[in-house]
Structure 1
């Protein structure tokens, strides 16, 4: 993807916070701002939800077999409640 330069003006406290957060995460301020915008626009969250949905669909038979028989939160055979006494 091509990069476009975007110049923004923020107060010094905001700039300092951005630099500190980026440094703490081991990334550039540019990358930090990019990730914040992606999160805000739902790009990262959308990708996560799609991956989770794919996982659930792929393993649906396993979950149904393991958890489908008892809808009260207990696994058939009592495995989920073992160790809770």
Structure 2
């Protein structure tokens, strides 16, 4: 994957903490920061999916009621019933 350079300014304490944590993990500061950003992005994605799942649970009945009216009724065996027979 192609890399791009990103310059960031942080206070000395933050820079030192990043250096120390990267060293403890056995990775470069660049790799450490990259991993932090990827983790953060993954958490945002999980948070969105969890919120969407909660929304669907809350409104499942509303969606089912709304869209059931548009769907043809199913006869036994999974075949649509003939029109007029519900």
Greater Cα radius of gyration, structure 1 or 2: 2
**Structure 2 length as normaliser, TM-score?**
0.49
**Structure 1 length as normaliser, TM-score?**
0.50
